[in-house]
Structure 1
Amino acid sequence: MAYQNLLVHNNGHIRHLVINREEKLNALNKQTLAELHDALTDALATETIRGIVLTGTGQKAFVAGADISEFASFDAEQGRTLAAEGQSRVFDLIHHAGKPIIAAINGYALGGGLELALACHMRVAATHAKLGLPEVSLGLIPGYGGTQRLTQLAGRGRALEMILTGDMISANEALGYGIVNYVVEPADLLTKTEDILQRIASRSGSAVSAAIEAVNASFGTTKPGFETEINLFGQCFQTPDFKEGVGAFLEKRKPNF
């Protein structure tokens, strides 16, 4: 099908899903998430596709976050539903996919954008990429698995530092933290990503799928952690800090917490 916010093309056994909202720094809105769900489901069901590249249009942003204007007026229950539906339809779909999905981080990966990359099986970042979870500056917490997946990759201390400060880190810092697998020059980003997927594609597809499932199982039962994040994310929407943080963002001023 034709997509409004997504470009889809194949290179042999590899499918590229490119978020195409460059003028909005590829921010995630409801339409984009719906298209990602559809495109991912199709790629995973297509037998000839052995791996997926997830990236953004342009050189500036992978995904610079969620489209804040869409949820600025949400209450607690709407916030919880936002997180729960996004998790089940996109982020968990990626995390548990039986085919390898690699995020090619071509620029800013912030908020929901970093969470999208974290859900992927691996991450390759361009040298100029910046990564962060700035939700606390909006009176929120990460709501698409960031508190869980970042902690699994970087450890509790690093995860808490990034989440509580909301600060961005460089691609090389992310490499040192174990968040990304490789840092490469922008011109080499897709080549490196495809090289990894091509090597995986030459292996047994059933064994690759089983290995992904087994590695995911090593984290044990993570559902309570994700459920806690979803519930607390929703509760943030009924706080004065959320109203101030989102209002300040939309008015392009510093929040007064």
Structure 2
Amino acid sequence: MDFENILIEIEDQIGLITINRPKKLNALNKATIEELHHAFKDLDEDEDVRVIIITGAGEKAFVAGADIAEFANYSVYEGSQLAAKGQELLFNQVERMQTPVIAAINGFALGGGLELAMACHFRIASDHARMGLPETSLGVIPGYGGTQRLPQLVGKGRAMEMILTAGMIGTEQALMSGLINQMVAQELLIPCCKKIATKIINNSPVAIAAAINSINAGYNNNGYKKEIESFGECFGTDDFKEGTTAFLEKRKANFPGK
């Protein structure tokens, strides 16, 4: 399959996926999500690929969120379908991969970008990266697993603060919170991820797949279903209309509260 929005390199049993939309700060639109789905599927089925690393093009952003212009006028049903399809097509897919996936966070990881990084099996970030879930500032909630995976990683209180304030945190705070595993200089990010990947490659791929499945089994719940329902309902509110309109018009939102 030919890709327009991502690049793939395979070397030394490591597959490197680069989201290549630097002018859009690598924002996730539907086409990019679709391409990532196929790329992950292909790499997971490739016996010569033992570890996958995903990063963003350039030094500004890993993924700076979803492409808001695509869904600003969605209905409640369309919003629910957006979350449901995205979760199953990509985010849950990544989490369930039998091939370990490392997120190399090279800059902003916001909204859907942080949700994608959290779906990966673990995360390494450059020292200037910034992370957050700003959805409530748009009148919506995280819809790609963010309300579930963030508390699992950083704890309920820290997750509540990040989601309710819509604020960003830096790499040091992310490291202390357990959101990322390591912080490195920008130029060392991919080499560090590859070094970790090499250690993984030395181990049994069957045992690694079994370990991933066993660890994930401990987190099964119905929270994702509730998130999909709530995410979709946000699309029927005046706050969502105001939040997305203000974003697209590059002004501060004035939420009516309904």
Structure 2 counterpart of 1:27:
27
Runs of 4+ in structure 1 off by over 3 angstroms are none
Structure 1 counterpart of 2:143:
143
CA deviation after TM superposition for structure 1 residue 156, in Å: 0.2
Structure 1 counterpart of 2:58:
58
Structure 2 counterpart of 1:70:
70
Q: Structure 1 residue 84 and structure 2 residue 84: aligned?
A: yes
CA deviation after TM superposition for structure 1 residue 237, in Å: 0.2
Q: Structure 1 residue 239 and structure 2 residue 237: aligned?
A: yes
Question: CA offsets, 1:90-113, max 9 Å, x none?
Answer: 000000111100000000000000
- Whichever residue aligns with residue 27 of structure 1, its letter is A
Question: CA offsets, 1:72-120, max 9 Å, x none?
Answer: 1100000000000000010000001111000000000000000000000
User: TM-score when scaled to structure 2?
Assistant: 0.98
CA deviation after TM superposition for structure 1 residue 185, in Å: 0.1
Provide the C-alpha distance between the structure 2 equivalents of 1:7 and 1:95, rounded to a whole number of angstroms.
21
SS in 2 for 1:104: strand
SS in 2 for 1:73: coil
Query: Counterparts of 1:89-108 in structure 2 under 5 Å?
Result: 89-108=89-108
Question: CA offsets, 1:123-180, max 9 Å, x none?
Answer: 0000000000000010000000000000000000000000000000001100000000
Provide the C-alpha distance between the structure 2 equivalents of 1:11 and 1:175, rounded to a whole number of angstroms.
29
SS in 2 for 1:247: helix
Q: Structure 1 residue 226 and structure 2 residue 235: aligned?
A: no
Provide the C-alpha distance between the structure 2 equivalents of 1:121 and 1:194, rounded to a whole number of angstroms.
15
SS in 2 for 1:89: helix
Provide the C-alpha distance between the structure 1 equivalents of 2:215 and 2:137, rounded to a whole number of angstroms.
34
Structure 2 counterpart of 1:209:
209
Structure 2 counterpart of 1:160:
160
Q: Structure 1 residue 122 and structure 2 residue 158: aligned?
A: no
Query: Counterparts of 1:34-49 in structure 2 under 5 Å?
Result: 34-49=34-49
- Whichever residue aligns with residue 230 of structure 2, its letter is L
Provide the C-alpha distance between the structure 2 equivalents of 1:254 and 1:201, rounded to a whole number of angstroms.
48
SS in 2 for 1:103: strand
Structure 1: gaps spanning 5 or more residues: none
- Same amino acid, percent of matched pairs: 53
CA deviation after TM superposition for structure 1 residue 32, in Å: 0.2
Question: CA offsets, 1:176-219, max 9 Å, x none?
Answer: 00000000000000011111111001100000000011111122
Structure 2 counterpart of 1:256:
254
CA deviation after TM superposition for structure 1 residue 12, in Å: 1.2
Provide the C-alpha distance between the structure 1 equivalents of 2:162 and 2:194, rounded to a whole number of angstroms.
29
SS in 1 for 2:38: helix
Provide the C-alpha distance between the structure 1 equivalents of 2:71 and 2:218, rounded to a whole number of angstroms.
35
- Whichever residue aligns with residue 250 of structure 2, its letter is K
Provide the C-alpha distance between the structure 1 equivalents of 2:204 and 2:138, rounded to a whole number of angstroms.
45
CA deviation after TM superposition for structure 1 residue 70, in Å: 0.2
Provide the C-alpha distance between the structure 2 equivalents of 1:226 and 1:194, rounded to a whole number of angstroms.
32
SS in 2 for 1:58: coil
Provide the C-alpha distance between the structure 2 equivalents of 1:240 and 1:211, rounded to a whole number of angstroms.
45
- Whichever residue aligns with residue 58 of structure 2, its letter is G
Provide the C-alpha distance between the structure 2 equivalents of 1:218 and 1:245, rounded to a whole number of angstroms.
36
- Whichever residue aligns with residue 56 of structure 2, its letter is G
Superposition CA RMSD, Å = 0.5
Provide the C-alpha distance between the structure 1 equivalents of 2:165 and 2:247, rounded to a whole number of angstroms.
17
Provide the C-alpha distance between the structure 1 equivalents of 2:89 and 2:201, rounded to a whole number of angstroms.
25
SS in 2 for 1:131: strand
Question: CA offsets, 1:14-34, max 9 Å, x none?
Answer: 000100000000000011000
How many equivalent residue pairs?
Answer: 255
Structure 2: gaps spanning 5 or more residues: none
Structure 2 counterpart of 1:183:
183
